[in-house]
Structure 1
């Protein structure tokens, strides 16, 4: 389809006023402190897979509420530690899938932890992690589950799981905790931004066509995809508009980006009606780290750069994760960098 959003020269300057909750940092600090009251307890059980180039482990760790979260850990076969690592987050409705779907980063010499997405995993790739928390009436999908209350919103649990995934891989004896990167596309990109704003000491952040950014504009211009779930919910619950936007302000990728300092590589597609380019640039232009770049794909929709962006990441990320192994990296709560 033709470009539908702002012209590229305007997108590169796009910095909308996005008021954030006064207690944004306190909310996330408290959320993570509550989660850390339960030890992460990461377990990595050897998994028999017909793959000769990698070692595969069935991973389990404690996420939000101490709930068990599944994942895959893949290590280069026969490699010595400590290794740099990539934590990979999955797109909307996908799950951790099967180990052979995640061979890229082990082939490049990285440990790779693939986090399952609780309550998802029935669209595109299978999942194995239930979400034991219910919610008030919601539109089908995840976007409106608990949307009337920040404490019960689905993405509070998923973002907490994602932070704990970094803590889990940092605890592995063959991983260098100072050389951990995070990556994902679409929903996985939105999760990546949240983790970038919540976890200090990351080596790099790779964010592709991110979802969960600049909700007020996304709901006005997105023509397809999960943002429409919120619109459908609010068409029915006409009296919940203000409450919904109050909740969403705690989960906006642009607010997390303003707290993130790790080197970052973004991608955006100018014909993307699922994650409109203005919402991606709102997060990118807010990103606090000085070492940042964005790859622009003018004629692509939500598939974005695909293998071309993967190649760009393979060229970019190893340099950010290079360097000698160091002692453990402390993981603390949220907080805007000053």
Structure 2
């Protein structure tokens, strides 16, 4: 286990070895967990996303980057960026989630994991430069509590739907990514999409993936929201701290949180997933991250990080190694034209 000098009033490794982390199970799912999320997914697929592309903003790393907006559930218009190959048609597609800091620009999400790819980089509702909306808090500790008293109003459910609607917008804008249905005439068209998400985006991605057959594989880095009951017992400096404090005064929230457990959702994911989980993380407790990896029901790969959400001497090397692993992972799994 890594040993870091830090000023936190708790152990960001939470006293667990790698073997102990790899033995953590997913919590028990609510009886209607699958029905709840299937209904939400179907509602998101019915949304007319009406994507609109703005002018070219950047061209770099073999890609052209445009502003984009689209409609999500509740009729909310959201923004982000559309990435297209600088030359030729797109051979792969990605939806790229972001962390609780929001997305202010495309940043290091470009270059994409594979060349000749198209992607949508959405800002989920309330966060980032292009999806701040009146009434939805933009600060992590307030955003994570928005609507939390009901599973039907909790903002995380709508943020998951934002990712599904972002995928719909991408497929409308880049129709060459759509493939013919494998079954009968009533089946929906498929797609060649990968998902990439970190922290908040990792947790949202785990919640989104089981229900969306357009996503063929995913890479999740330090995913949030794994094993919510355990997470309520573990100190952190991230959004989980706000949820723990709220739960202390409102214990009934445990009727809601199990529906938004990334580890429970991971037990329904059957497509290949590469997880980068950290042994030391002050913002997203490692036990929750590993609970997501452990629960995955399909092909899985693990890249173990020394630390997440924490600067350390090996950070640049590990980031480069994870980038290489991500490129290999998607290169082996995303179907080409």
TM-score interval w.r.t. the shorter chain?
Answer: 0.7 to 0.9
Residues 242-263 of structure 1: per-residue CA shift (max 9 Å, x gap):
x211111111101211111111
Count of matched residue positions in the alignment of Structure 1 and Structure 2: 308
SS in 2 for 1:191: helix
The structure 1 residue matched to 2:131, chosen from 126, 129, 132, is 129
Q: Which residue of 2 aligns with 1:247?
A: 256
Distance across 2 between alignment mates of 1:193 and 1:107: 21
Matched, 1:104 2:111: yes
The structure 2 residue matched to 1:31, chosen from 32, 40, 53, is 40
Distance across 2 between alignment mates of 1:115 and 1:141: 20
Q: Which residue of 2 aligns with 1:91?
A: 99
Distance across 1 between alignment mates of 2:61 and 2:20: 49
Distance across 1 between alignment mates of 2:109 and 2:263: 28
Q: Which residue of 2 aligns with 1:166?
A: 167
SS in 2 for 1:69: strand
Q: Which residue of 1 aligns with 2:122?
A: 115
- CA shift, 1:158, in A, is 0.5
Gaps of 5+ in 2: 5-10, 179-190
Contact 1:5–1:276 (CA under 8 A) maintained in structure 2? no
- CA shift, 1:85, in A, is 1.1
Q: Which residue of 2 aligns with 1:287?
A: 296
Instruction: Report 1:219-238 matches (<5 A).
Output: 219-235=232-248, 238=249
Q: Which residue of 1 aligns with 2:15?
A: 5
**1:257 to 1:44, Cα distance in 2 relative to 1, 3 A:** same
Instruction: Report 1:1-338 matches (<5 A).
Output: 1=4, 3-16=13-26, 18-49=27-58, 51=60, 53-81=62-90, 83-95=91-103, 97-99=104-106, 101-105=108-112, 108-121=115-128, 127-131=129-133, 140-173=141-174, 175-177=176-178, 178-235=191-248, 238=249, 240-241=250-251, 243-289=252-298, 291-297=299-305, 299-303=306-310, 305-323=318-336, 325=337
Comparing 303-312 with 214-223, greater Cα deviation is found at 303-312
Contact 2:220–2:273 (CA under 8 A) maintained in structure 1? yes
Please, what TM-score do these two structures have when normalized by structure 1? 0.83
Please, what TM-score do these two structures have when normalized by structure 2? 0.83
Residues 199-232 of structure 1: per-residue CA shift (max 9 Å, x gap):
1142211000101111111121232211001122
Gaps of 5+ in 1: 122-126, 326-338
Contact 2:45–2:168 (CA under 8 A) maintained in structure 1? no
Distance across 2 between alignment mates of 1:208 and 1:155: 18
